[in-house]
Amino acid sequence: MKRRGESLENIQANSFDVCVIGGGATGSGCALDSQLRGMTTVLLEGADFASGASSAATKIIHGGVRYLEEAVRRLDPAQYQVVNRALHERIHMLHNGPFLSRPMEFLIPCAGWFSVAYMGFGMKLYEWIAGKDSLFPSRFLSKTKTLERMPGLSPNHLMGSIAYADGQFDDARYNMGLINTFVAASGEALNYARVVGFTKDASGKLQAAEVEDQWTNRRFTVRAQRFVNATGPAADTIRGLATPGIPTRMRLSKGAHLVLPLEVFPTRDALLIPKTDDGRVLFAVPWFDRLLIGTTEQEVTIHDELYLSKGDVEYLLHHINRYFKTTIRAEQIVSGFAGARPLVSAAGSHDTKNLARDHEVEVDARSGLISIMGGKWTTHRAMAEDAINAVQKSLGRAATPGVTLDHPLSGSSGYTPEYWQSLVRDYKLPEQTAGHLSQKFGANATKVLQLAKEDPALAAPIVTGFAPLRAEIAYCARNEMAITIEDVLMRRTGLQFYSWRAAISAAAPTAAILAKELGWSPEFERSSAEEYRRKITRLIELAGLSAEQLAAADSN
Ligand SMILES: Cc1cc2nc3c(=O)[nH]c(=O)nc-3n(C[C@H](O)[C@H](O)[C@H](O)COP(=O)(O)OP(=O)(O)OC[C@H]3O[C@@H](n4cnc5c(N)ncnc54)[C@H](O)[C@@H]3O)c2cc1C
């Protein structure tokens, strides 16, 4: 990827076929599809790439067990359509980003034979819908087998479990993978470029986007023939900028996760609780030696700040502890995160947990804005295909088929599941570091390691005892448009997801390398590190925890 300044210049100097607004999963998928179909495409992201819902997911590539249940119980074709689409998309997501995703077995604990029969039948149906794209067959596991696989599960009221397959992925890195692949196909992408208005031609059609550079506060215009609104939770804001007064469509549902050391519930499989007392789904999923527990569901607005609250912690622990042999305490949490699911309102539905996760493409006849709304991570590729079909139609061009179905993401070529071993052998890396680099960067890991070879200071870990290397900071500043400490620690290296305590320690070394790469003044370097530490400390406090508790829990 080019440096940000260079991209900014190119974007201002050119006019594009398509301008995609929003650099989450949906927008990045749209930009890639559009560029690969031969249309010159620019992607504008108002904050950092993947900084919205697309890095706050449960990180599961799934059809949606609950949506299937809703589809059957309510005979709801919309819910069925979501499950069907997602189950067929699942396999492509796994194939296109092999280093960022993997199949995973999920266990659903069952208390009696009725629940075994009910869930067993449901998962067979799930498999049947997936058809040839099924991952592996679901089956019943006895109580003994279930406890062998999940020794931390409470044996009380346990008859056994239904095991079924879905996928798991690294959402923030998958999002970066889409952007990197788009840019490698000669697309232009810019982060911290917020669309704040539009200019229109005499007939009212959008001609250019007014963009505010969030880094310099400077405004500029981006010209394109068509504009795709892929801003997820903010879709109504962009729709309103294009056509003031247009009725709103989006409903937002906050979901929060807490992160714990995997030792609290050692498992290689994920746990799915299909229904809590208040009718929600809970997951406990192993994630890079951590355990993610989520998620809550609470309706919010675009103005609400999103974070793991003390209430979320209490809710999640209260429900999950019913299934665990040893009670998990809040003090054991090492980090957490929250995001807002962008749902399109369906007539007659008021409860966000009953809104279909299907997507909708809206072509605004007045302004020509094409909005792609709703959906989920698993269906981002199909959503993008539908949106770009609509773009071609509105341009009056013959529809050309999308080519993203089997288009590998940057870093996939040359990657195999044993790739990490070559890093251990060729670069004398510890296994933990090699595993981390291959799972975050795929075959591009050698480019990161080349920087460490050229400057041995970059070969050290960012924080002693944790896998990410200092070379990743320089690599991401040069190649992935990382320009803040959070860009690096949260979305590029994942250290902030992994440990709030490590993230605080990482602030100063990250700022120092970014300062060198991006030409920051010593004062800016110091204040950036300080501001980032304050931000993480606040997240810890909002979750009802303290830095001292974290230090005790997180003894990596
Ligand atoms: C808690 C939670 C768990 C989830 N778990 C899963 C899961 O396990 N599997 C799954 O398939 N799905 C899951 N989802 C759903 C999935 O994460 C979302 O559907 C998906 O990420 C939405 O992507 P998006 O690109 O539409 O939105 P976002 O990722 O929010 O991206 C929209 C982008 O638009 C940008 N933007 C906003 N306004 C402007 C502007 N004016 N100018 C420029 N840019 C702008 C934002 O900064 C943002 O980056 C989950 C969602 C949540 C919240």
More confident call, 1 vs 51: 51
Q: 126-149: per-residue pLDDT in tens?
A: 999 999 999 999 999 999 999 999
The pLDDT of residue 77 is 84
Q: Are 371 and 364 in contact (CB under 8 A)?
A: yes
From ligand 1's centre to the CA of 91, what distance in Å?
A: 21
Give the atom of ligand 1 at the shortest distance from the alpha carbon of 59. Answer: 8
Per residue, what are the HEC states of 424-457? HHHHCCCHHHHHHHHHHHHHHHHHHHHHHHHCHH
Q: What is the 3-state secondary structure (H, E, C) of 360-387?
A: EEEECCCCCCEEEEECCHHHHHHHHHHH
Instruction: Determine the pLDDT at residue 71.
Output: 79
Q: How far apart are CA 163 and CA 69, in angstroms?
A: 17
**Chain-centroid distance, C-alpha 148:** 31
Look-up of token digits 């591009």: 444
What pLDDT sits at residue 482?
98
Residue 67 has pLDDT above 90, yes or no: no
Mean pLDDT of the chain: 94
Pick from 115, 125, 110, 109: which is nearest to 63 by CA?
Answer: 125
Q: Hey, is 259 helix, strand or coil?
A: strand
Residue 239 CA to ligand 1 centre (angstroms): 17
What local confidence, expressed as pLDDT, does residue 517 receive?
Answer: 97
pLDDT category at 348 given cuts 50, 70, 90 is very low
Using a 6 Å cutoff on CB, does residue 54 contact ligand 1? Answer: yes
Which residue is closest in CA terms to ligand 1's atom 50?
57
Q: Taking 90 as the threshold, does the pLDDT of residue 520 lie above it? A: yes
Q: Which of 287, 335, 289, 291 is nearest to 312 (CA)?
A: 335
pLDDT tier at 68, thresholds 50, 70, 90: confident
The one-letter amino acid at 521? S
How far, in Å, from the CA of 278 to the mean position of ligand 1? 25
Three-class SS string for 127-164?
HHHHHHHCCCCCEEEEHHHHHHHCCCECCCCCCEEEEE
Residue type, 523: E
Residue 347, pLDDT > 50, answer: no
- Cα of 25 to ligand 1 centre, how many Å? 6
Express each pLDDT in 449-463 by its tens digit: 999 999 999 999 999
Q: Taking each helix axis from N to C terminus, what angle separates 65-73 and 77-96, rounded to the nearest 10 degrees?
A: 160
The answer on pLDDT for 556 being more than 90 is no
Residue range 376-417, pLDDT digits in tens: 999 999 999 999 999 999 999 888 988 999 999 999 999 999
Across the range 283-307, mean pLDDT stands at: 94
pTM, to two decimals: 0.97
Q: Minimum mean pLDDT among 272-281, 307-316, 474-483: which range?
A: 272-281
**Interatomic CA distance for residues 502 and 499, integer angstroms:** 5
Dist. CA 245–CA 171, nearest whole Å: 34
Confidence at residue 316, expressed as pLDDT on a 0 to 100 scale:
96
- Ligand 1 in contact with 44 (CB < 6 A)? yes
Q: 417 versus 277: which is more confidently predicted? A: 417
- Higher confidence at residue 70 or residue 357? 70
Nearest to 417 by CA among 434, 392, 397, 398: 434
Q: What percent of the chain has pLDDT over 70?
A: 97
Closest CA to 438 of 412, 407, 475: 412
Q: Could you tell me the two tokens for 17?
A: 């076929």
What phi, psi does 507 have (nearest 5°)?
-60, -50
Atom of ligand 1 nearest to the CA of 47: 47
Is 422:415 a contact under the CB 8 Å cutoff? no
Using the CB atoms, write b or e for 6-43: b if 16+ within 10 Å. ebbeebeeeebbbbbbbbbbbbbbbbbbbbbbebbbbb
